[in-house]
Amino acid sequence: MLERALYGSQRYFRWVLGLLILIGMGFGAYMIQLNKGLTITGMGRDVSWGFYIAQFTFLVGVAASAVMVVLPYYLHNVKVFGRITILGEFLAIAAVTMCLLFIIVDLGKPMRLLNVLLYPTPNSILFWDMVSLNGYLFLNIFIGWNVLEAERKGVHYPNWVKPLIYISIPWAVSIHTVTAFLYAGLPARHYWLTAIMAARFLASAFCSGPALLILLAYLVKKYTKFDPGQEAIDKLTNIVTYALLISVFFVGLEFFTAFYSQIPGHMHSLVYLFVGLEGHGKLVPFMWLFAILAVAALVLLLNPKTRRNEKTLKLACLFTFLSMWLEKGMGLVIAGFIPNPLEQVREYSPTIPELTIALGVWSTGAFILTILYKIATSVKEEVGEASH
Amino acid sequence: MESSRRDLLKLGGACALGLTTLPLVKAHAKSDLPKVMDNPDALKGKRWAMVVDAKKCWEKGKEGCKDCIDACHKIHNVPDIGNVKEEIKWIWNEKFQHVFPGMESPHMAHDYHEKPFMVFCNHCGNAPCVRVCPTQATFKRPDGITMMDFHRCIGCRYCMAGCPYGARSFNFRDPRAFIKTELNMTFPTRERGVVEKCSFCEERLAVGLLPACVEACKHGALVFGDLEDPNSPVRKLLAEHFTIRRKPELGTEPGVYYIV
């Protein structure tokens, strides 16, 4: 089936070429980092994880969200999702690949990466994250590929795929739970030390991922002959609305606990994020943008008129995705380090090479997604035409 | 050369068979004898610990005294990077409100706001850094020292996120160009991309010497000993003085005690 990625319109090749250029730039910047060390990033001894790990964290959520189409389809027989489960699974493949790349570019000694396998350490959550992410990647590759191939041949997918599909459902929940546990179990970091971390992660995943999926479905509809179906989009919209509501509610819970208890350690990071701490407030504008976008998205999603209008729905999805990215892909990870364990405020901002590398990784994800979607839509077009 | 799939499989099979002999060799060559002889002079303890006598440090030491820091950083080839962001430090000083956040009050004696407290790795009894390390590059020794293997560390910095005391430093760049003291050829320098921290001078204990900082402090403000030995100098100090530890509420069981 792979050969379908080799034929396409001029626009398709221009897009792929553009992505390859960005990937090349990212790779070049990574070569500099490999040579000089992580000193080329904005990270330091106080904020020792930055943009890379934040992107990783956010993208695990996007990957996990595939379950929001797989679960209703296979467990509740929601037939309208049948057409787009493949889009969800392929999105998961691209997102998990980006996650793994963001981990690799963050390592000080990437050449020693296999030490994680050579000295397996079950007490480290990072070890389990490696297990769950790689497992999820392979599950989605196997399932997506086999189901699509069966569809092309006009037969039912092989029976051994079914158990994998069922396993993939709790597995999707596990990848984001384990990723939340990376943070939620550290005694040193007040901001992360919260029992609802995994719940927050899942809620934000289940709005940002499906929001992206809706936007992608519209793109697919526009540029190919495959129509994911309005009904599927409507159902996804409901999921985004509920998940975004729950997400915002969870953030509110954090505020209540911190500010009603008045425990300084619990308040510090939130104060830093939203008004600035001891005169430092680099993230303040971004966090207010998060708040505004989240509220705007909610207004657009809750109002039936704007929810059913394609234009405003797209806008709402874009706002949802951006707001969750700001909250998780920026604020959450960085604010955990501010103030530092000695209660000093040392700020962080990413550098140009760091952002270039991150852009390279995002482009790699977009590249994989493009190729996979190209294959999927080509197959769907063929099958669709044959059935007419 | 002709080669068929069958030949390749045969060769693969032979190789796999060869691998199975490895455990046999290992079992055959097994011995209970230690591979390295213990130094008879080595200091032995069950749980090494430190007492920092802040009063002695302030009263007897000159203002700005850095004897312990200099001794440690020189002996361990610790680089002087020259900026706060990427600073590498094994032992350094901080003010009370940073060492014991939340314990300060506006009306406590002036000294506590201004005077230095020495801080370094606490060699926690229940160390979060050891718990989170995905490769066991940071591990607990039977004598209580939280140890770092610079050669196994993959540089993920999870331990730095896990340490509640900010005791860990990461080599953001090649540190070798920044070693400004005379190079100590008996201790390894580090590569860029790994984490490092205080090791209670395990390399000195192994040859019967006290940690460098303890030896360097002329006023006896740093006292080292075995917490499990009732006659050790640390146990005597702990019995005589009221001491506090950093963030005891986190359950990390720090091995560094402060007389304030």
Q: Which domain holds residue B156?
A: 48-259
Within a domain: A375? no
Q: Which domain holds residue A46?
A: 42-217+225-350
Per-residue pLDDT band for A102 (boundaries 50, 70, 90) equals very high
A159: tokens are: 């029976």
Residues of B in contact with A340 (CB under 8 A): 166
Residue closest to B145 by CA, chosen among B67, B66, B212, B227: B227
Q: Is B96 on the interface with A (CB under 8 A)?
A: no
Distance from CA of B231 to the nearest CA of A (A): 33
Cis peptide before A339 (omega within 30 of 0): yes
H runs (alpha helix) in chain B: 5-28, 54-60, 67-75, 96-99, 110-114, 128-132, 158-162, 202-205, 212-216, 233-240
Q: Which CATH number characterizes residue B156's domain?
A: 3.30.70.20
Q: Which CATH number characterizes residue A134's domain?
A: 1.20.1630.10
pLDDT tens digit sequence for B173-229: 999 999 999 999 999 999 999 999 999 999 999 999 999 999 999 999 999 999 999
Q: How many domains does chain B have?
A: 1
Within a domain: A108? yes
> Cα(B127)–Cα(B141) distance, rounded to whole angstroms?
12
Within a domain: A328? yes
Distance from CA of B71 to the nearest CA of A (A): 22
Q: What is the pLDDT of residue A186?
A: 95
Residues of B in contact with A187 (CB under 8 A): 128, 162, 164, 250-252
Q: How many domains does chain A have?
A: 1
pLDDT tens digit sequence for B231-260: 999 999 999 999 999 999 999 999 999 998
State whether B172 and A127 contact (CB < 8 Å): no
SS3 state at B244: strand
Q: What is the pLDDT of residue A77?
A: 86
SS3 state at A177: helix
Please name the member of A49, A103, A187 whose beta carbon is closest to the beta carbon of B164. Answer: A187
Average pLDDT over residues B42-55: 94
pLDDT tens digit sequence for A364-383: 999 999 999 999 999 988 88
- Look-up of token digits 């006023």: B219
Q: What is the bridge-based pairing of β-strands B169-170 and B195-196? A: antiparallel
**ipTM (interface predicted TM):** 0.92
Distance from CA of B119 to the nearest CA of A (A): 11
Q: What is the pLDDT of residue B108?
A: 84
State whether A265 and B102 contact (CB < 8 Å): yes
Within a domain: A34? no
CB A124 within 8 A of CB A130: no
Within a domain: A143? yes
Mutate to test the interface with A, among B157, B163, B194, B253 (most CBs of A within 10 A): B157
Within a domain: A10? no
